[in-house]
Amino acid sequence: MKNIIIINGPNLNLLGKRETSIYGDVSFENYLVELKKSYPAFQIDYYQSNIEGEIIDKLQEVGFSYSGIILNAAAYTHTSVGIADAISAIETPVIEVHISNIYSREEIRHKSLISKNVQGVICGFGLKSYDLAIQSFTKDE
């Protein structure tokens, strides 16, 4: 069985309540229940933190044993050399995900410091972006 972890960064614990016109009105916990049902062949773990160092710790912890990492680093996408370096340091492939289309938003969001170190980027499909990322791991099944 493939084990995948979804790692969500700062403020994504507020999905469903936060800026619903951009991020939707479904909490991630509720979405995750449905996502897991769609992929019974995968073990899908979930971790969320508002703290940069904790995200780095989690990447290091899972990055040599899991089959795939789906990372929405949220605001740290645009600022964190530390998370970018952690992605380079580990072996597990990372897919970068964003709920919104970061390229249609403010200019500060157009730059991702992590994109050059990931296997691929999916953004702009709402919560479905996570589903599409999992699909990218099914191609090796």
Whether 98 is catalytic: yes
Query: Of residues 48, 49, 72, 80, which one binds ligand DQA by CB under 6 A?
Result: 72
Contacts of 32 (CB under 8 A, 6+ apart): 6, 44, 46
- Residues 104-133 touching ligand DQA, rule: CB under 6 A, are 109
**Could you say whether residue 99 binds ligand DQA (CB under 6 A)?**
yes
Q: At residue 35, what is the residue type? A: L
CB of 64 to ligand DQA, least distance (A): 25
In the complex, least distance from residue 78 CB atom to ligand DQA, rounded to whole angstroms: 6
Straight-line distance from the first to the last Cα atom of the chain, in angstroms, rounded to the nearest whole number: 10
46 tagged catalytic: no
CB 79 within 8 A of CB 39: no
Residue of 31, 66, 98, 130 marked catalytic: 98
Q: DSSP string of 84-131?
A: HHHHHH-SS-EEEEESS-GGGS-GGGS--SSGGGSSEEEESSTTHHHH
CB of 22 to ligand DQA, least distance (A): 7
Active site residues: 23, 98
Chain residues in the site for ligand DQA (CB under 6 A): 11, 72, 74-75, 77, 98-100, 102, 109
